[in-house]
C-alpha cells in the first residue's frame, strides 16, 4: 500500500480578511477602517455638501443594483459550484472531465473578458435583461471558483464517513446529502464568505455593461459634474463600508456555526 | 444443527486484490455460515481488513467472486445497497456522524434506507441504546463520548438496520485499554444471541472465547482455518506457530 501525503496548500483568497476572535490586530484594524470610513464620509458631507452630499444622494440606486448583482450571482454561483464540485470528485469520467474543463477554461480567462464575452454572446442568441445577463456572467465565473471551494470542503471530510454511510445501505447520493455535505458546509462557509466579498467587489466590473450599479452611477455623476476626484472618493468609501460590514457579518455567522458544533 | 447444514452467508472464492503492485489478497476463499462467528487474525499487512471490507464491497477486487446473503456482490447487475443494508459494519475509527446526535446516528439509515417511520426508527434506536448501555446518551453528540461509548453507539447503529451479518474491523484497536472490555462485552452478547459475525481483531482472548472458527492470514493468504482449540494449541503452519509464540 502506498500512501501519498497530500501536498500542503497555502490558500490565499483575494477577499477581505475575515477577522476571527482572538485575532486582535485585525480586529482593531477592522474597527479603525470601518469607523474611519463612516467618519470621513460623514465629515465630507457635512463640511462640503456640494458636491459630496449630492453624490451620496445620487448613488443609492446603484448600491441597490450592486446588491442585486452580488446576491443573485452568489446564489447562482453556489448552484454552479455544487454541480462543478461534485463533478470534480465524480467517478463518472464524462461528468468529471466536463467539470474540470469548465474550471480550467474559466480560470484561464480574465473576469472582465468573460463578462464582456458572456454578455455579448448571450445578447446575440437570447433577449434577456442586462441585469440578468450580468448576473449570469458573474455566476459562470464564480461558479468555477466556488466549485473548487466545495470540492475541497467535501474532500476534507474523512473517508470513513462515506464508508460508514455506504455500509448502512445508503446510496452515494443519500450519503452526500445526509452525511457529507452537512459536514462540509461548515468547512466551506469561511472560503465561500471570502468568495462572496470578492464577488461584491468584482461586481463593479459590470458597470462597463449597461447595468447601473454603484460604480456606474458614480461615473454618470462624475461625467456630468466633472467632480471625478470627489465622486470616486465617495464610491471607494461606500464600497469599503459595505465590504467591511459583510466581512464582519460572515465572521459572526461562522462563530455561531462553530459554537453549535 | 451442524454448521455444514446451515445456510451459507458469505462465500468468497479465489479473491485477488492488488494495491498497485502489492498483492493484498492472493486467491483467498472463505465460507461463513449463518450464525457462525469467525475471527480473522494475522500480522498487519496480511490482508485481513481488506478481506473483511470486500464482504460489503468497500474494496474493489481484481479477481474472484463474493456471494453474500445469496447475492453476487461484484456482479454488475447486483444492487449494492440491497446487499449492504443486510451487512453491518463496525470500523476501527467508529465513524459516527459527528453532526448528528446519538439518536439521529441510529435513526438516519433506518428512515432513509429502510423507509421506516420516524417513530418506528426512534423506538428501535432506544431499545438498542438500552442494550449497549447508553440510553442516557441518546441526545449527546459523538464528540462528547469516550471511544468505548462511541464504538458501542456504532455497533447499535449497525444493529438498527437488522443486519444478517456483522463485520467488525479491528473494533477495539483505537481504544484505551480500559474501554476495550465494554465493547467486547457488547460483542459477546451479540454472539450469544446467534448473530453471524466476522471479526478482525488482535484480542486473542475474545477469539478463544467466542469464535467458532479462527482464520489465520499471512501475506494475503489464509494459512489456517479451524477451531480455536486447534489454532491455539496445534497450528500446523510455521507462520502461525511463530505468530502465536510472539503474542502469547
**Which residues of chain B does A165 touch, with a Cβ-Cβ cutoff of 8 Å?**
97, 109
Q: Are A119 and A134 in contact (CB under 8 A)?
A: yes
Q: Are A150 and B94 in contact (CB under 8 A)?
A: no
Q: What is the mean pLDDT of residues A66-93?
A: 94
Determine the angle formed by the axes of helices A49-58 and A60-88, rounding to 10 degrees. 50
- Which region among A124-138, A221-235, B133-147, B212-226 has the lowest average model confidence (pLDDT)? A124-138
Q: Are B148 and B185 in contact (CB under 8 A)?
A: no
A168–B108: do the CB atoms touch at under 8 Å?
Answer: yes
pLDDT confidence tier of residue A1, bands split at 50, 70 and 90 = very low
**pLDDT tens digits, one per residue of A101-141:** 999 999 899 989 988 888 888 878 888 888 888 899 999 99
* Element spanning B22, H or E: strand B22-33
The residue among B94, B104, B112, B140 with the most chain A CBs within 10 A of its CB, best to mutate, is B112
- Closest to A11 (Cα-Cα) out of A166, A179, A194, A147: A194
Nearest by CB: B113 against A2, A161, A170: A170
The residue among A169, A176, A179, A257 with the most chain B CBs within 10 A of its CB, best to mutate, is A169
Nearest by CB: B85 against A158, A164, A169: A169
CB of A184 within 8 Å of a chain B CB? The answer is no
**Which residues of chain A does B157 touch, with a Cβ-Cβ cutoff of 8 Å?**
168
Determine the angle formed by the axes of helices A228-260 and A60-88, rounding to 10 degrees. 50
The residue among B45, B58, B101, B121 with the most chain A CBs within 10 A of its CB, best to mutate, is B58
Task: Give Cα separations from B133 to A173, B127, B130, B182 (angstroms).
Answer: 33, 10, 5, 9
DSSP state of A17: P
Q: Is residue A27 over pLDDT 80?
A: no
The pLDDT value given to residue A258: 74
The pLDDT value given to residue A160: 96
Residue of A nearest to B59 (CA): A163
**pLDDT tens digits, one per residue of B28-63:** 999 999 999 999 999 988 999 999 999 999 999 999
Residue of A nearest to B90 (CA): A164
Which CATH code, of 1.10.10.10, 1.10.3720.10, 1.10.760.10, 3.90.850.10, is assigned to A64-229?
1.10.3720.10
What number is the ipTM of this complex? 0.93
* Exposed/middle/buried for residue B5 (C-beta within 10 Å: 0-12, 13-18, 19+): exposed
pLDDT confidence tier of residue B201, bands split at 50, 70 and 90 = very high
Q: What is the mean pLDDT of residues A202-213?
A: 89
Starting at the earlier edge strand, list the strands of the sheet with B165-169: B87-90, B165-169, B196-200, B37-41, B213-218, B221-226
Position with higher pLDDT, B218 vs A21: B218
Amino acid at each position: 500500500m502506498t500512501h501519498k501525503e497530500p501536498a500542503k496548500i497555502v490558500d490565499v483568497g483575494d477577499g477581505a480578511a475575515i477577522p476571527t476572535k482572538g485575532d486582535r490586530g485585525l480586529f482593531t484594524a477592522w474597527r479603525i477602517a470601518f469607523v474611519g470610513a463612516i467618519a470621513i464620509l460623514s465629515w465630507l458631507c457635512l463640511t462640503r455638501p456640494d458636491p459630496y452630499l449630492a453624490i451620496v444622494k445620487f448613488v443609492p440606486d446603484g448600491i441597490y443594483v450592486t446588491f442585486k448583482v452580488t446576491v443573485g450571482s452568489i446564489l447562482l454561483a453556489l448552484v454552479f459550484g455544487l454541480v462543478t464540485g461534485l463533478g470534480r470528485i465524480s467517478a463518472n469520467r464524462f461528468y468529471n472531465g466536463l467539470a474540470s474543463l469548465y474550471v480550467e477554461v474559466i480560470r484561464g480567462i480574465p473576469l472582465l473578458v468573460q463578462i464582456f464575452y458572456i454578455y455579448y454572446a448571450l445578447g446575440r442568441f437570447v433577449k434577456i435583461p442586462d441585469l440578468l445577463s450580468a448576473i449570469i456572467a458573474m455566476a459562470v465565473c464564480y461558479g468555477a471558483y466556488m466549485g473548487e471551494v466545495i470540492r475541497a470542503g467535501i474532500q476534507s471530510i474523512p473517508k470513513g464517513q462515506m464508508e460508514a454511510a455506504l455500509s448502512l445501505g445508503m446510496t452515494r447520493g443519500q450519503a452526500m446529502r445526509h452525511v457529507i455535505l452537512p459536514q462540509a458546509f461548515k468547512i466551506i462557509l469561511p472560503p465561500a464568505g471570502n468568495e462572496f466579498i470578492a464577488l461584491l467587489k468584482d461586481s463593479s466590473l459590470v458597470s462597463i455593461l449597461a447595468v447601473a450599479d454603484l460604480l456606474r452611477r458614480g461615473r454618470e455623476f462624475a461625467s456630468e459634474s466633472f467632480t471625478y476626484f470627489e465622486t470616486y472618493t465617495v464610491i471607494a468609501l461606500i464600497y469599503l463600508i459595505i465590504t467591511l460590514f459583510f466581512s464582519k457579518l460572515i465572521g459572526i455567522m461562522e462563530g455561531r456555526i462553530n459554537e453549535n458544533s | 444443527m451442524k454448521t455444514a447444514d446451515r445456510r451459507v452467508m458469505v462465500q468468497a472464492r479465489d479473491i485477488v486484490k492488488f494495491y498497485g503492485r502489492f498483492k493484498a489478497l492472493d486467491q483467498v476463499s472463505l465460507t461463513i455460515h449463518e450464525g457462525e462467528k469467525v475471527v480473522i487474525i494475522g500480522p498487519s499487512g496480511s490482508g485481513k481488513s481488506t478481506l473483511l471490507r470486500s464482504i460489503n464491497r468497500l474494496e474493489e477486487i481484481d479477481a474472484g467472486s463474493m456471494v453474500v446473503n445469496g447475492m453476487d456482490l461484484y456482479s454488475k447487475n447486483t444492487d449494492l445497497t440491497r446487499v449492504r443494508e443486510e451487512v453491518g459494519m463496525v470500523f476501527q475509527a467508529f465513524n459516527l456522524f459527528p453532526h448528528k446526535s446519538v439518536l439521529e446516528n441510529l435513526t438516519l439509515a433506518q428512515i432513509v434506507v429502510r423507509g421506516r417511520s420516524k417513530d418506528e426508527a426512534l423506538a428501535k434506536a432506544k431499545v438498542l441504546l438500552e442494550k449497549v448501555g447508553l440510553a442516557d446518551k441518546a441526545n449527546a453528540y459523538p464528540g462528547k463520548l469516550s471511544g468505548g461509548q462511541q464504538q458501542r453507539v456504532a455497533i447499535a447503529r449497525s444493529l438498527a438496520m437488522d443486519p444478517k451479518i456483522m463485520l467488525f474491523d479491528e473494533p477495539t484497536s483505537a481504544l484505551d485499554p480500559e474501554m476495550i472490555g465494554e465493547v467486547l462485552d457488547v460483542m459477546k452478547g451479540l454472539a450469544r444471541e446467534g448473530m453471524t459475525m466476522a471479526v478482525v481483531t488482535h484480542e486473542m482472548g475474545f477469539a478463544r472465547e467466542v469464535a467458532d472458527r479462527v482464520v489465520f492470514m499471512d501475506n494475503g493468504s489464509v494459512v489456517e482455518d479451524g477451531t480455536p482449540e486447534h489454532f491455539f494449541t496445534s497450528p500446523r503452519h510455521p507462520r502461525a506457530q511463530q505468530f502465536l509464540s510472539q503474542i502469547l
